Every structure is written in C-alpha cells, then in structure tokens.
Amino acid sequence: MSYEQEVKEKAIRAREAARRLAYLSTEIKDRALLQMAESLIKNQQAILEANEKDVRSGKEMGLSKALLDRLLLTPQRIEDMAEGLRVVAALPDPVGEVESMWTRPNGLQIGRVRVPLGVIGIIYEARPNVTVDAAGLCLKAGNAVVLRGGSEAINSNKAIASVISAAAAEAGVPAGAIQLIENTDRAAVGALLKASGLLDVLIPRGGAGLIQRVVQEATVPVIETGVGNCHVYVDEDADPEMAVAIVINAKCQRPGVCNAVETLLVHQNVAGRLFPGLLEKLKEAGVQIRGCAKTRAYAPWVVPATEEDWATEYLDLILAVKVVENLEEAIEHIYRYGTKHSEAIVTQNYSRARQFLQQVDAAAVYVNASTRFTDGYQYGFGAEIGISTQKLHARGPMGLKELTTYKYIVFGDGQIRQ
C-alpha cells in the first residue's frame, strides 16, 4: 500500500470512529484507558522484544546516546506509560461541559458546550511513550487519533499501538479510534500535512526542523508546539538569593527542555552583588557561560557572546548572560529575541513586576518563579499533550480541554428572525 493510500484509509477509519467517539460515555472511555494500561503490562514481553529490534538497528545506524536512551523501553518505563493512562482515566471529562448559557430577549437559550475536535494527527520523533500518552489523551477528550512516530521506533510503536487498540476496542471504543501510520517514508508525513478534510488538527511534537516543515507545508490546521528561547530578568530590586536559586533551577534542573532558561538578563545595579556567587555556582554545575562585555568585566573567564547567542535555544548546559541598563532594555531584548514561550522577572518592586507582566508577550510570564513551571502537570491540568507557542486556539501547556472545541446549542420555541 502506498503511503498516500495508508494515510487516507487510516484517516477515514479514524473519522468514522470519531463520529461515535464524540458522544461516547465517560464510563466507557475510562474503562478503555484502564484496560489499555493493564494490557500494556500484560503484553510487556512482546513490546520489549519489538523495542529491542529498534534499539539494535538504532545502534547499527549510529544513533546518538541521547536518542538511544529516548528510544529504550524498560519494564519501569512501560509501567510509567500505564500509570499515565490511569491518571488520565481519573481526570474529569471535558466533553459535554456547558461553559456558559444565556437567554436572549426573544427567549432563545444559547449555550456553549465543549465537544471533541474530531480527528487529531500527532507527528512525533523517537520516543515510543508518546504513542501511549497521545492516544490516551485524545481518547479521553473524545477524539480519534492518527499517530506518526519516528522511523527509529517503528517496531515499538507497532507493538504498542496494536496492544492499546485491541484493549480499547474490547472496552467498547469504536474500532479505528487509534491509528498508527506504519510507512516510515518521510513523504508519509507530507501526506498527513495535506490531509485537510480528513484531519481536524495536526500537533507536531519535535525539534525546530519538524515544526518548520509542518508550518510551511500543512494545509491542515496546526497547533505549533515548541521552541523556547526563555529569559530570566533579574531586576535591581531582586532578592539575590532568590535570583540565584531561580536561575540555577531554570537552567540546570533539566536543560534539554523548552521551558529551561537560555538567556539571563541582569540589571546593571545588581550585577556586582549577583555575579560572583551566581557565576561560580553555574560553573560548578557545569554550565558554560557566554556573556556580553559588561558581564565579562566581572568575570573575564566568561566566553564572549555573539549576536547568534541571543537567538539560540541551546537545550543544553549553556547560558547567555547580558547586563542591561533597565527593565525597558530587558523587555526590548525579550521582544527581539524571545520566542513567546516562558519569561520571568525576579524583583521585589511592585510596579516593575506589573510592567513586566503587562508588556512581555509570551505564553507564560512569571514573577519570582522558575520558567520550568510551564507544564501541564505543574499548572494542575493533570496531563499534557504539549506546550503551544502559537496564539490561536491554545497557548502554553495543553491539557484535555485544549484537545476540544465548542459548539453552540440553541433552544427555541419557534423563533424566527425579524
């Protein structure tokens, strides 16, 4: 079967399933999620064997150690995937919620009710756990899903998808609700991007290259997830101890993720107090510093920053540091180089905190907290499909609610328009 045919046929099957999924009872959806979890555990031997194949050929292909680690499944990781499904089962169902309802002067009662999006396409890279996470979240929100994982994980994904699809169907989920594209040709992604009319939305999860391709080529509506060139600005009225703790956390706690800080901006009046302790601690933590001239005046060992550094999402233990004259310069720098993901100010000054919150345009703006909190779990959504960096539909962490849309339901007694 050609990849176009595979994409089309599976999308159509998902579409058919989506019709019934849209009003499937929460009871059946939750039962399905629990059975999927159980079935993952029961079939872990088959999944681990399939994964071994992927890891073996990954090694032969010379995949990096980091990539191989993402690819690798263990009994513990399978248990984690199962636990993720159980957590989603326990979350409230967003579908059917009437967010507001009002009555017009002519007696029409108009309500806005949450409904599923329909068919969601997910394009992702090496990690096979996304297959389970995405399928679980989409199912709970009443959507069918068409999954397209990286070719490196194809055997793992096939094993996982077959296990969870069967468990879901057994629990009463319409057959076809979970589709995996098995063709590993890059062109199959192209076919998904052009499947408008079949897919309601595409969510790419991966690096900047994938996201750019999707935005450029897709005719299906896309929710962009992604790039986070995040800043922490330490104001002149910052508590230095708090500033150090936040910067270290935002950079080092998990440097490879989108909500980690990439550039530190420091008010000139606080640099002298802040830098000695902070820069030493960052160095000890293994962070390479790339600083502006003023930063290097305090610490000559710092690597000089280039224009490119301000615009780079390192996703690594590297931090660009710039001394600024005032809050305005910090806001200007963030406007110019930021990617509207997560931005933080550390300050005890009330007016400047307000100014930062108001004038910085990003999915999440923080006062006196680490940017690392931009995350569906940390926000209390219970689960996350990704973090949106676009402005339409959903912004920031996306939980179950963001996988739905709404429709208006209108109750009348024969009203006609005058």
Using CB under 8 A, list all residues that contact its own copies: 19, 22-23, 102, 104, 108, 110, 115, 117-118, 196, 200-201, 215-216, 219, 221-223, 239, 242, 245-246, 248-250, 253, 335, 357-359, 361-370, 372-374, 378-380, 390-393, 395-396, 405-417
- Give the end-to-end CA distance of the chain in Å, rounded to a whole number: 56
Looking at beta carbons only, is 301 or 408 nearer to its own copies? Answer: 408
Residue among 186 and 335 whose Cβ is closer to its own copies: 335
CA 111 centroid distance within chain? 30
How many other CB atoms are found less than 10 A from the CB of residue 111? 16
Least spacing, CB of residue 201 vs its own copies, in Å: 6
- Smallest gap from residue 125 Cβ to its own copies (A): 22
If the CB atoms of residues 21 and 47 are measured against its own copies, the closer one turns out to be 21
Residue closer to its own copies, measured from CB, 62 or 416: 416
CB 43 within 8 A of CB 75: no
| Shortest CB 22 distance to its own copies, Å | 7
- By beta-carbon proximity to its own copies, the closer residue of 306 and 378 is 378
Report the nearest approach of its own copies to the CB of residue 299 (Å): 23
Output the DSSP codes for 373-391. G-STTTTT-S--SEEE-SS
Alpha-carbon 121 to chain mean position: 14
User: Toward its own copies, which CB reaches closer, 23 or 53?
Assistant: 23
> 41 vs 315, which CB is nearer to its own copies?
315
In the complex, minimum distance from the CB of residue 271 to its own copies, in angstroms, rounded to a whole number: 20
Smallest gap from Cβ 153 to its own copies, in A, equals 28
Walk across the sheet containing 144-148 and list its strands: 178-180, 144-148, 119-124, 201-205
Q: Looking at 173-292, which runs of residues are DSSP E strands?
A: 178-180, 201-205, 230-234, 261-267, 288-291
What is the Cα–Cα distance from 362 to 390, expressed in whole angstroms? 9
Find out whether 351 and 268 touch, Cβ atoms under 8 Å: no
Query: Closest separation between CB of residue 160 and its own copies, Å?
Result: 28
| 14, 177 Cβ separation under 8 angstroms | yes
Contacts of 63 (CB under 8 A, 6+ apart): 71, 126, 152
